[in-house]
Chains A and B, each alone.
Chain A
Amino acid sequence: MTKNLETAGTASRLTDPLPAEFFESAPDATLIVNPAGVVMHSNRRARTMFAGEELVGADTSRLGISADDGVALVRNGGKLLAIDVVARQIQLGHESWQLLVLRDSPSVPAERDLTRAWKNLALGEINNSLAHELNQPLAAVTLHCEAAAAAAEDAGNADPELLAELQRATAQAFRASNVVTRLRQLFVFDIGATVAAWPNMLVQDAVRGFVAHSGPKDISSRLAAGLPPVEVNAGLIVQALISLMGNAASLAQSEHGSIEIATEQSAGEVCISITGAGLQLDTDAQRFSPLKDRHASWAGLEFAICRRVIAAHGGRLEVSGQCCAGGKGCFCVRLPAQVREQ
């Protein structure tokens, strides 16, 4: 038995019968998966990690595990856990099974880091909006001062004391603007560590997270096969997709509509589209502005953050009433596809 344990940890083949008692007490969460991707054995640590999930007999894709991209996001008691997946091939007779070791990963943001990043983004967005709104009147103040000085000179009444006061007023306006700028610099956005993630896995995680958060919804998915991976902070992108689905669902719900989430590849990009029957989207830019949100049910700030998160990954968020079949409203998250080395 000890021999099997060592072999499993260091090599990629395991020829003896499965040492079930070893797996049960192993310190890392461990699953053994048959060639069809179905979990055949799980240990105590894995059952704790996937609290509430029936592991044996479950499909690994349903559990949100991808051995290929080396990462999984799992729900545990309402919390999102980011874990690394290390896969090893084990030979059972003529079949190649997988031994999956799951470890909490410091390189992938977990729930706490994700919450902090989202909060930071929200504050950053509010600051951006304040910067825009405050700098407009400050610009007007400086221009008024300059206009007053010019008018005084034109009238031949360029009192040096008056001009000096106008210059002081201008200086104060610039000082106020600098305060706004410094506030914005407190909330510099960094997407943090990224991993190569499979788009369909991101979608599945987002659907699971959305349903866990909002309850059962009328959601269908259409996922393209063979998509290339995307280099992302999986936690942030999943959170952005959940937020977009929430917006789509709230708008579609008023018309008793359903939403569909789909993936496809086009021209070096992966497109994740969220389409809603009954989702009426015009194309003006107001929805992107957190301070100009005209829709009562529309999370304008969340939407602005989603756009920022996606842009930070080199992608873009498109909103259209035209881009999908049937003229339904649609959000398209476009992310650059990762180029694989030959």
Chain B
Amino acid sequence: MSTSNGYRLLIVDDYKEVRSLVSRQLQRQGYEVVEANCVTQAKKLLASDVFDLVITDVSLNDGNGIDMMAAIEPMPKTIFMSGYMQPSMTATMELEAGRNFIYKPFKIKTLAQMVGTAVNNDGDQN
């Protein structure tokens, strides 16, 4: 078991295997990870808890990860995941692969680097 690094992450994905594998791998690196499988569950957690970073899929069973996060004021630091990016996604917010967006499939090492940069960055990551 790794020593906690003090950062709390929320991972939102309706695809259980991806959610639990990412969660497990990030826990190995010392992060405390909470999981949600839909927008409704994520919203409840975000309303009642504080997270240093949210990692969310864009297409969820009951909504859209981008709209979900854009509705929160102020918006927490977020990394979006998706199998594809289309222009309508960037209409709501600026997404940049490698900064706040990662294409699926990905290597956990790549995501972990983005997570590390995001949680250690005090500026507006989004």
Q: How far is the CA of A177 from the CA of B82 in the complex (A)?
A: 12
Task: Give me 11 A-to-B residue pairs in the complex whose CB atoms sit less than 8 angstroms apart, sorted by A's number.
Answer: A131-B83, A132-B84, A133-B83, A135-B104, A136-B104, A141-B105, A180-B83, A181-B84, A285-B60, A311-B91, A312-B87
The answer to whether B91 touches A140 (Cβ under 8 A) is no
Instruction: List CB contacts (< 8 Å) of A258-311 with chain B.
Output: 284-286, 289, 292, 307-308, 311
Which residues of chain B come closer than 8 Å to A173, judged between CB atoms?
105
Given A139-B18, A141-B105, A142-B106, 18 further pairs, Cβ under 8 A: A128-B84, A135-B104, A139-B15, A139-B83, A140-B21, A143-B105, A143-B108, A146-B108, A146-B109, A147-B21, A180-B83, A181-B84, A184-B84, A285-B63, A285-B64, A289-B59, A308-B88, A311-B87
Interface residue B124 (Cβ < 8 Å from any Cβ of A): no
Whether the pair B87, A135 counts as a contact (CB closer than 8 A) is no
Which 10 residue pairs spanning A and B have beta carbons closest together? A135-B83, A143-B21, A139-B105, A140-B17, A139-B104, A311-B88, A131-B84, A135-B104, A132-B83, A138-B105
Least Cβ–Cβ distance between A192 and chain B, in angstroms: 16
**Is the pair B105, A174 in contact by a Cβ cutoff of 8 Å?**
yes
Asked whether, in the complex, the Cβ of A128 is within 8 Å of the Cβ of B25, the reply is no
- Any chain B CB within 8 A of the CB of A1? no
Q: Are A132 and B59 in contact (CB under 8 A)?
A: yes
Q: Does B86 contact A (CB under 8 A)?
A: yes
The residue in chain A whose Cβ has the minimal distance to the Cβ of B14 is A136
Chain A nearest Cβ from B83, distance in angstroms: 3
A-side contacts of B67, CB under 8 Å: 285
Task: Check if B106 sits within 8 Å of A139, measured CB to CB.
Answer: yes
Task: Decide: A146 and B104 in contact? CB cutoff 8 A.
Answer: no
Which secondary structure characterizes the binding site on chain A?
Answer: helix
A221 part of interface (Cβ distance < 8 Å): no
A153 nearest CB across to chain B (Å): 11
Q: Is the interface of B mostly helix, strand, loop or mixed?
A: mixed
A-side contacts of B109, CB under 8 Å: 146
Size of interface on B: residues with Cβ below 8 Å to A:
29
What's the Cα separation between A143 and B104 when bound, in Å?
10
Binding site for B on A (CB under 8 A): 128, 131-144, 146-147, 150, 170, 173-174, 177, 180-181, 184, 284-286, 289, 292, 307-308, 311-312, 316
State in angstroms the CA–CA spacing of A150 and B109 once bound together. Answer: 12
CB-CB under 8 A from A135, the residues of chain B are 82-84, 103-105
Query: Are A307 and B83 in touch, CB under 8 angstroms?
Result: no
Question: How far apart are A105's CB and chain B's nearest CB, in angstroms?
Answer: 27
Given A143-B18, A177-B105, verify A136-B63 contact (CB < 8 Å): no
A35 to chain B, nearest CB (A): 44
Residues of chain A contacted by B63 (CB below 8 angstroms): 284-285
Q: Are A140 and B24 in contact (CB under 8 A)?
A: no
Given the complex of chains A and B, what is the CA–CA distance between A314 and B73 in angstroms?
A: 25
- Residue B43 CB within 8 A of the other chain: no
CA distance A170 to B15 in the complex (A): 19
Q: Once the chains are docked, how many angstroms separate the CA of A312 from the CA of B82?
A: 20
- Closest CB in chain B relative to A254 CB, distance in Å: 24
Residues in B neighbouring A137, C-beta threshold 8 A: 17
Greatest chain B CB density within 10 A among A134, A170, A285 is at A285
Which residues of chain B have C-beta atoms less than 8 A from A311's C-beta?
Answer: 87-88, 91
> Please, how many angstroms separate the alpha-carbon atoms of A128 and B22 in the complex?
23
